[in-house]
Structure 1
Amino acid sequence: MVFTDIDMPGSMDGLALAERVAERWPHIRLVVTSGRRGFRDRDMPDDGRFLIKPYLSSELVQTIVQAT
């Protein structure tokens, strides 16, 4: 499981990270978060899940369960 924010310091954002993980390790499930609207689960690579901020811890747990 990889849980990442879209906005990350450095040259790679969370979507690029998720795409690389999906390409190299397709068995690893992905959960991507951001405060930006406009993303959906279908925008995530490899059947990943998108979780908009702010979120409750119970929403995070539910999203992780759905991703696995």
Structure 2
Amino acid sequence: MGIVKIGEDLHEEIRRTSAVMCRSINAQAEFWMKIGMLAEANPAMSFNEIIKMQLAAADLSAADTEAA
């Protein structure tokens, strides 16, 4: 595991968002980094398309997550 240094403002935004999304601060930052990496690699895809792609890769569908 590595250490990533980020600015105070971004850290505060991650902290607030993590509380809303029920994720740890680290999990929220990791989620944003992964989505950002996938968005750069797939510039024609929307956020929702990226999420659907990740759900499919995990053998889940959006309908499966709605029941939770």
Is TM-score (shorter-chain normalized) higher than 0.5? Answer: no
- When Rg is computed on C-alpha atoms for both structures, the one with the higher figure is 2
> TM-score normalised to the size of structure 1?
0.30
In proportion to residue count, which structure has more helix?
2
Bigger proportion of residues as strand: 1
